[in-house]
Amino acid sequence: MEKIQMTMPIVEMDGDEMTHVLWDMIKEKLLAPYVDLKTEYYDLSLLNRNATADQITVDSAMAAKKYGVAVKCATITPNKQRMEEFPQLTQMWKSPNVTIRSIIGGTVFRTPILTDVIKPAIRFWKKPITVARHAYGDVYESVGFHSQEPGTCTMTFRAVSGQEQSVVVKTTNGPAIWAAEHNLDDSIREFAQACFTYALNMKQDLWFSTKDTIAKVYDGQFRRIFEEEYEKNFRTKFEQLGLKYFYTLIDDAIARCVRSEGGFIWALKNYDGDVMSDLVSTAFGSLAMMTSVLVSTDGTMEFEASHGTVTQHYYRWQKGEKTSTNPIATIFAWTGALRRRGELDKNEALSGFAARLEHACLQTINDGIMTKDLANLADPKVSVRAVNSEEFFDAIIAHMK
């Protein structure tokens, strides 16, 4: 069989532990036999980040910006315990994801992978719901204090020009707690652009919800910026594809979300996104079935699994045990990157391959062959065979053939 050719490379960010073991298996067993894989390789394993004083992470992010598509393996973010485990570390290096995000910018979209045999806790859901969380400001950068005496709290903004804006927050006659939060027009606008761009790319409707009836200025500004961006830059493209941009109050959005079939992108403010992404991912099943994509305003996309390096499995694997680690999210990170590369390069063979590989994975699970983490989530009517990772790969390969 002739292998599928690639014109432009994908930036490959290799990582650590069990996900690194799966990474090699994915390339060797699922990709290399079919695709003449073209990647620009960056080893982001902890020891190589240490050896390069983390320059490798910066270089890989710059490459992602250059080529527009990257796929990342999970990596260790060192903490105190890891500093003891790896005494050669010269620093407690920052999370590579934080470094990469600060260079590429953009928004993280988390999407569950659905199969027929693993039913979401909410029985109406048939298609994935992707949560886009605005990862800047609000309560995460708020300041506050506790006051004891009766008195008045005011909030003042002093502009560089010397102009001042001031509001009375409240006059109280007893002990009280206070908080001030902020957000930036530029950050909200970037978030809006990333959400509209991603919805177009996924050919799905975009929902956005806040509490602007209550927070008229604060949440109202979020709503206005989203509307401005939609009218100015996205309405025509949405209409051409028959897609909708839909704004509603957060309470209404939650009620509609639960009753919906899924199949849309849900943009949320920082706190709402934090809470709702955990709810949505748990209701859909398992962290091992969740991918995430970092999308920047210039269209750069970096794909990865939402889970970590699965350390406990790795320790067992090191002792020679076979583990039942679920490779699906990491495989889908690869297929996401291959599909995007295919779309950018008008390489239908490559996008088609990504779709076939995803289909083979889902078929395997629907046949009842799955890793242990999924086995106890599966529909009791399905006869399940829980297998180790290698057997799972073999079953996917059988479907590919």
Q: Note the residues at the interface with ligand NAP (CB under 6 A).
A: 74-77, 97, 287-288, 304, 307-312, 325-326, 373
Nearest position to ligand NAP, beta carbon: 308
H/E stretch holding 14 reads strand 10-14
Residue 268's SS3 state is strand
3-state DSSP: the chain helix, strand, coil percent, rounded to 5?
45, 20, 35
- Residues 202, 193: Cα–Cα separation, whole Å: 14
Least distance between Mg ion and beta carbon 132 (Å): 14
Q: Are 178 and 152 in contact (CB under 8 A)?
A: no
223 touches, from ligand NAP, Mg ion, none (C-beta below 5 to 8 Å by class): none
Interface with Mg ion by CB under 5 A: which range of 152-160, 269-277, 329-337, 364-372? 269-277
274 touches, from Mg ion, ligand NAP, none (C-beta below 5 to 8 Å by class): Mg ion
312 touches, from Mg ion, ligand NAP, none (C-beta below 5 to 8 Å by class): ligand NAP
Least distance between ligand NAP and beta carbon 160 (Å): 39
Find, among 154, 134, 114, 195, the residue nearest to 365 by Cα: 114
Interface with Mg ion by CB under 5 A: which range of 18-26, 92-100, 168-176, 277-285? 277-285
- Residues 209, 227: Cα–Cα separation, whole Å: 12
Least distance between Mg ion and beta carbon 226 (Å): 23
Quick one: 228 or 278, whose CB is closer to Mg ion?
278
- When binding is defined by CB under 5 A, the residue of 28, 228, 239, 278 that contacts Mg ion is 278
Least distance between ligand NAP and beta carbon 245 (Å): 30
Quick one: 270 or 309, whose CB is closer to ligand NAP?
309
Least distance between Mg ion and beta carbon 253 (Å): 18
Quick one: 23 or 226, whose CB is closer to ligand NAP?
23
- Residues 1, 136: Cα–Cα separation, whole Å: 48
Which positions from 85 through 144 interact with Mg ion, judged by CB under 5 A? none
Quick one: 85 or 278, whose CB is closer to Mg ion?
278
Contact characters 12-51, Mg ion, x per CB under 5 A: ----------------------------------------
Q: Which two tokens stand for residue 164?
A: 């001042």
373 touches, from Mg ion, ligand NAP, none (C-beta below 5 to 8 Å by class): ligand NAP
Tell me if 274 contacts Mg ion by CB under 5 A.
yes
Q: Using the 8-state DSSP alphabet, how is residue 360 labeled?
A: H
Least distance between Mg ion and beta carbon 360 (Å): 32
- Residues 257, 233: Cα–Cα separation, whole Å: 26
Instruction: For residue 60, give every residue at least 6 positions away whose Cβ sits within 8 Å of its Cβ, in sequence order, or none.
Output: 11, 13, 42, 44, 70, 100
- Residues 361, 397: Cα–Cα separation, whole Å: 9
**Look-up of token digits 């950050």:** 187
Cα-trace Rg, the chain:
23
Least distance between Mg ion and beta carbon 80 (Å): 23
- Residues 241, 203: Cα–Cα separation, whole Å: 7
C-alpha dihedral, 358 to 362 to 364 to 370, nearest 10°: 110
- Other CB atoms within a 10 A radius of the CB of residue 322 amount to 12
How far are the Cα atoms of 113, 199, 339 from residue 243, in angstroms, in the given order? 22, 9, 21
Quick one: 70 or 310, whose CB is closer to ligand NAP?
310
**Look-up of token digits 């709290």:** 153
278 touches, from Mg ion, ligand NAP, none (C-beta below 5 to 8 Å by class): Mg ion
340 touches, from ligand NAP, Mg ion, none (C-beta below 5 to 8 Å by class): none
Quick one: 288 or 293, whose CB is closer to ligand NAP?
288
Quick one: 269 or 341, whose CB is closer to Mg ion?
269
Find, among 36, 152, 109, 78, the residue nearest to 267 by Cα: 109
Least distance between ligand NAP and beta carbon 310 (Å): 4
How many whole angstroms from its chain centre is CA 278?
Answer: 12
Quick one: 74 or 301, whose CB is closer to ligand NAP?
74
Quick one: 122 or 135, whose CB is closer to Mg ion?
135
Residue 205's SS3 state is strand
Q: Are 130 and 332 in contact (CB under 8 A)?
A: no
By the criterion CB under 5 A, which residues form the site for Mg ion? 274, 278
